[in-house]
Amino acid sequence: MNRLSHYFCLLAFLVFNLSVSSFAQTPPKRYIVHGVLNLEATMNHGISAMNKMVGAGCNAVALTVMWDRIYPKADSKGDWAQIDNQINHVVNNLKVKLVIRIHLGRHIAFTPGFWALEEAVTDFKGKPLTHYYDNNHFSFAHQPSIAKAAGFVKEVCQRYKDLQARGQILFISVVNTPQQELGYAYENQQYPNPSYFAVFDHSKWSMIKWKEWGRTKYQTIRTLNSYWGTNYKQFLDIEPYVNWFNPKDSFRGLRGKDWYLFRHQLLKSHIDQMTDAVKSVDPSYKVACEFGGIADNLSLQRGTFAFKNLTEKADIIKTSVDAFQGDGIQADLVISNLRPGQKYYTEIAHFDLSTPEALRNYVDRAIEYGCEVVLLYTDYDNGKDVEKILPAVQEGVYWMDKPTPPIVFADSMKYRLSQLIDNREAVVEDWRIRSENGKKKIKIIYDEDLVHDKQVIDNPLPDIPDPGPDPDPGPGPGPVVPDPPKPPVQAGPNEVPIENFKDFTQQIVVNQPFIFRIPENLYIDPDGYIAYIEITEAPNWVNFNKFEFSFYGKAPSLGKTRIKLKIYDNKGASLESQMYIESIPPAIDFELIKADYFDVPIEGWGLLTNNRTLYLKDLPEKLNVLARCNLDSVNFHFELTGPYQFKRISDRPPYNLFGEGRGLEFPVGTYTLKANAYQRDTLITFKTVQFTVKYSTDSSQNIITDWVVYPNPFENICNVRLPLEEDFNALEFVMHTNGGKKIPINKERIKLINNVAYINLSNTNIIAGSYILEINKAGTVLKRIRVVKL
């Protein structure tokens, strides 16, 4: 070979090797990660599945480091054999990237020496978390346990720091729940009893912090009671609201939002400390927050709605792109609110969806939403788990080096954290309509309002005994507020604020704590904005929050009270105005509705007023009755008597007689409906109406002949039309079985209305079957009628 040929060969060799080297160092567009949950402690657990998943194209593996497996006891020597062996196989044999998930939950049997029972996270029943492998974790309110956990996190990060320096580790996450996620658990179980939805954390340390938190925010117990509508005597007594049968109800109203915010702040403190622990070992570590959901139907209990605030220090957010129930709003919510440089990824396990096709489609959706990391979890190479998820792997591999599709928003919308807490379902439904059920991407402008609201109440009420209503309170001086800021000097005229509604009136309920904002459109400024509102005249029971433009207090008596205001714009112009607060009694209204409102909008059929007559021909086949009340946080105790008898307690809106989606085809007759409204076992108000049901306005169709029994068959109440000439007091009523057994009916079970005897056979020993109803007078049989009890 001549010198020139040798030169070109050498040049070709160098160019080839340079291009190979350059190609090898170019990272892929995304990582398709095989996840191993480490559900078992065997040395080679998950390795066979890793080999298949990486062989199919996965270019990274995620491994869970179990705290209780490394250190089963406080005095154990660290057992790193399993995780070291797995990591060695990933890095040196499979030669793919690594994700480390540090799990701080522990089996309840392995918590002694790490945290005591009173330091364990506890649900609203006072039970420690033992759901899903009897897994528990420490209370986020117990700082010594958090510090101990941070020490373990640092130890893991230090042990594998050399891998980070070599660029082998994609990111590290720290989780705590039994599902290996970050946040509060949403379910609990004391095996072998069934599991139940729960709210955490009611542990000793959390409750100590909760009482301190309430004192810091409200400063006086009188102020707290005014906002919460409670009657506590001291801060040591305050508790979160609990509804065992509807845990989500725990976050209703201002008291519930305070509880949500308190839990959020504890969770954020924990997340920040774990992130700091990772970064303290090596700032180049990327840290992920692994949420099970940030807007699905469990996020309220998880405490993860305010994910932007929770992830202020995190590099990566994990949540679902579709929460398996059509709640695809989560993907739009995340991608619309990532910080610059912050990434988003997702995961799916082989058992999360029912078919390989569904798993493959999930990966497609993740790529569509820009996920640069997709985790696919399966622990076992058992001939079905890996095979089920392989189509999802292959789909991910197809997209591995392809550019991320551009994200194009079809529309935008605004939501607040408080909206998700109050009525997540309404928010999701609005998103469904705008996005055409996820077909279009919607940019969501998300205001985590509660997190950013002022955390200390201004002008707290003094803790003094309530003197009772003033016979002539007169105008009070109003709250003490600073003078409005002086406006800057401006050129040209400044228009004065405008009042949209003259003498606006807000109704409140007497002797009940109230809080309401001045409506946003009540005052407007044509050339600026409303900057400040001052109260110039008000009774001493009316208080005003100048930051929120809201009134609060409790009216001691009925009547209409004038409030005088001065409204300033941002340039100093002002308007004098007045509004009224009208104190009214607590009241209940009944409304007839069609019974099928469970999955369709409520269809009303008018108010159910006293002495109203209902004509069956003009009404739906089955009816229900709503009770509407001008009070919050009530329970309704319903009782219906007449041709049909029924009792029920309704504990959340819409308050109704028969239950959601249920109703009654009313038998003809006269009924009495009573509803008592309770707050915390105290009767606040009640209402009773009597109404009549007829077939039609045609009087000839409403005639019921003597001795007719209806309905027949019947459930509990058998109605008999008696002749006008018969004296009810002289009659005896007896049931005869087919076997000839005689069952007298106590007269206390029979009520006479409009000459119809309503015979109530509920809670008797008369079982379902066919009977002869016999009506006697002075030993003489007047009538025998065959009846059937259902």
Q: How far is CA 183 from CA 200, 261, 295, 302, 700, in A?
A: 10, 14, 13, 5, 67
Query: Residue 323's pLDDT is what?
Result: 42
Say what the alpha-carbon torsion angle 423, 429, 435, 438 is, to the nearest 10 degrees.
Answer: 100
The secondary element (H helix, E strand) that includes residue 509 is: strand 505-509
Task: With beta carbons less than 8 A apart as the criterion, state whether 571 and 596 touch.
Answer: no
Which amino acid is located at 489 in the chain?
V
Which domains, ranges and CATH numbers included, belong to the chain?
26-200+245-407 (3.20.20.80), 498-584 (2.60.40.10), 588-694 (2.60.40.10), 705-789 (2.60.40.10)
How far is Cα 53 from Cα 393, in angstroms, rounded to an integer? Answer: 7
How far is Cα 541 from Cα 226, in angstroms, rounded to an integer? Answer: 11
Query: Residue 668's pLDDT is what?
Result: 81
Query: Residue 15's pLDDT is what?
Result: 37
Task: With beta carbons less than 8 A apart as the criterion, state whether 170 and 31 touch.
Answer: yes
3-class DSSP state for residue 242?
A: coil
Q: What is the pTM of this model?
A: 0.60
Give backbone dihedrals phi and psi of 609, rounded to 5 degrees, phi first: -95, 165
How far is Cα 554 from Cα 562, in angstroms, rounded to an integer? Answer: 15
Q: Look at strands 343-349 and 373-377 and give their pairing.
A: parallel
Residue 485: burial class (beta carbons within 10 Å; 0-12, 13-18, 19+): exposed
Residue 380: burial class (beta carbons within 10 Å; 0-12, 13-18, 19+): middle
In tens, the pLDDT along 682-715 reads: 888 899 999 998 877 766 555 667 888 877 788 7
The secondary element (H helix, E strand) that includes residue 149 is: helix 143-159
CA atoms within 13 A on the CB side of 560: 7
Query: Residue 599's pLDDT is what?
Result: 58
Task: With beta carbons less than 8 A apart as the criterion, state whether 359 and 329 touch.
Answer: no
Low-confidence ranges of the chain (pLDDT < 50): 1-24, 323-326, 466-467, 470, 473-482, 484-491
Give the closest residue to 278 by CA, choosing from 268, 267, 289, 264: 289
Question: Residue 534 CB: number of other CB atoms within 10 A?
Answer: 19
Place of tokens 């010198």: 3
The two three-digit tokens of residue 339, written as one number: 């910080």
- Strand ranges of the sheet holding 750-753, from the earlier edge strand across to the other edge: 709-710, 717-721, 756-760, 750-753
Task: With beta carbons less than 8 A apart as the criterion, state whether 289 and 177 touch.
Answer: no
How far is Cα 164 from Cα 172, in angstroms, rounded to an integer? Answer: 10
The secondary element (H helix, E strand) that includes residue 718 is: strand 717-721
Instruction: Please list, in sequence order, all residues whose beta carbon lies within 8 angstroms of the beta carbon of residue 508, skipping any fewer than 6 positions away.
Output: 514, 516, 555, 581, 582, 583, 584
DSSP 354: S
Which amino acid is located at 494 in the chain?
N
Residue 761: burial class (beta carbons within 10 Å; 0-12, 13-18, 19+): buried
How far is Cα 129 from Cα 428, in angstroms, rounded to an integer? Answer: 30
Instruction: Please list, in sequence order, all residues whose beta carbon lies within 8 angstroms of the beta carbon of residue 658, skipping any fewer than 6 positions away.
Output: 595, 624, 625, 646, 648, 664
Q: Distance of alpha carbon 698 from its chain centroid, rounded?
A: 50
In tens, the pLDDT along 615-650 reads: 888 888 889 999 988 887 788 999 998 878 788 888
Query: Residue 760's pLDDT is what?
Result: 83
Task: With beta carbons less than 8 A apart as the criterion, state whether 442 and 332 touch.
Answer: yes
Which amino acid is located at 619 in the chain?
L
- List the beta bridge partners of residue 637: 649, 676
Task: With beta carbons less than 8 A apart as the criterion, state whether 561 and 470 touch.
Answer: no
Task: With beta carbons less than 8 A apart as the criterion, state whether 546 and 623 touch.
Answer: no
Query: Residue 702's pLDDT is what?
Result: 55
DSSP 656: B
Place of tokens 């990272």: 27
DSSP 79: -
Give the closest residue to 635 by CA, choosing from 647, 649, 624, 646: 649
Please give the full DSSP string across 619-639, using - where no structure is assigned: S-SSEEEEEEES-SS-EEEEE
How far is Cα 196 from Cα 245, in angstroms, rounded to an integer? Answer: 9
How far is Cα 511 from Cα 469, in angstroms, rounded to an integer? Answer: 10
